[in-house]
Amino acid sequence: MNQLEALRQYTTVVADTGDFRQLAQFQPQDATTNPSLILKAVQKAEYAPLLQQSVAGGAGRHIDELMDRLIVRFGCEILQLIPGRVSTEVDARLSFDTAATVARAERIVAMYRAEGQDPSRVLIKVAATWEGIEAARILEERGIRTNLTLLFSFAQAVACGQAKVQLISPFVGRIYDWYKSRAGSSWDEAAMAGASDPGVQSVRAIYHHYKHFGIVTEVMGASFRNVGQITALAGCDLLTISPELMAQLQASDAPLQRALDPEAARTLQLEPVRYDEAGFRYALNQDAMATEKLAEGIRAFAADAAKLEQLMQAAAAA
């Protein structure tokens, strides 16, 4: 049994890619994507027709609707190759607008439905700002399942649990990046690996809180930099992994033990935590890493969404 097969005994494996032609090789249960991954994919010759079809099929439509048509087109292709769910992201430029996020999410789900897809197989990805979490709460109440992304802090996770969102995606690798950069030459890679990795520790704390208090929101570790971060979270509800790291797991037959266990989490001595809006904003403000990485992540996704728009506008003008 290779490590990827062993991991599947404890955890649902999710593919983190816009390159859906890679999916068959790894047989993930679910898949997730974002504007950056789709931007990368549509610049490959084999995916260019999807962009052209989305533009041609939406002639005269506003650019934001063409964007949604493209990401839904990718999502539909992915759903043909996996048995589970696909996560589709709302434009990051709406991260601080609850009403606009809700409206965009409902339009995306309507597009999936028009393509004959079961909406229960779609998770709407929303940045875990206060406004995004509030939008997710509204969407969940309307039967639209959500995946809260760009999640770097315990406070974000607590607020998402209170909102009863379907799933959260805490970003392991970007947390690791921040602490490594901050430490500079004093960073000890060996000492900070595995269970000592700050990104791994963040997900473990969230997982323990959720399981201890019976919060049903699923935890999906994301944004991995190395296989060690993945194996240190074996047992997490889901892990979304790039094809490159899945290939490394598939190529290894090293032993893999369960690292996270819900029964063990229930025996821990933990204090309940809740946040109102003011408390959430203050807790996030006090976490320099989470504040910086959330803002940086929104800017990066927004920039890639703008680049994707430019490609679509160029295709429409051709």
Task: Please tell me the predicted confidence (pLDDT) of residue 59.
Answer: 74
On the question of pLDDT at 131 being above 90, the answer is yes
Task: Please tell me the predicted confidence (pLDDT) of residue 37.
Answer: 87
Average pLDDT over residues 118-131: 98
d(CA 246, CA 308): 27
pTM of the model: 0.95
**Residue 6 token pair:** 């062993």
Q: Which range (56-60, 192-196, 256-260, 288-292) has the least confidence? A: 56-60
Q: Which range (13-17, 126-130, 204-208, 231-235) has the least confidence? A: 13-17
Residue (of 104, 39, 38) closest to 74 by Cα position? 38
Note whether 168 and 158 are within 8 A (CB): no
Task: Please tell me the predicted confidence (pLDDT) of residue 25.
Answer: 86
On the question of pLDDT at 57 being above 80, the answer is no
On the question of pLDDT at 60 being above 80, the answer is no
**Residue 235 token pair:** 């047992």
d(CA 197, CA 191): 8
Which helix H or strand E contains 65, and what residues bound it? helix 63-79
On the question of pLDDT at 318 being above 80, the answer is no
- Maximum alpha-carbon separation in the chain: 63
CA distances from 233 to 125, 148, 258 (A): 22, 19, 8
**Residue 110 token pair:** 């309507």
Average pLDDT over residues 186-197: 97
Q: What is the pLDDT of residues 140-158, one digit of tens each?
A: 999 999 999 999 999 999 9
Average pLDDT over residues 21-34: 88
Residue (of 288, 244, 276, 229) closest to 133 by Cα position? 276
d(CA 165, CA 206): 14
Note whether 174 and 293 are within 8 A (CB): yes
On the question of pLDDT at 52 being above 80, the answer is yes
Enumerate the active-site residues.
125
d(CA 310, CA 305): 9
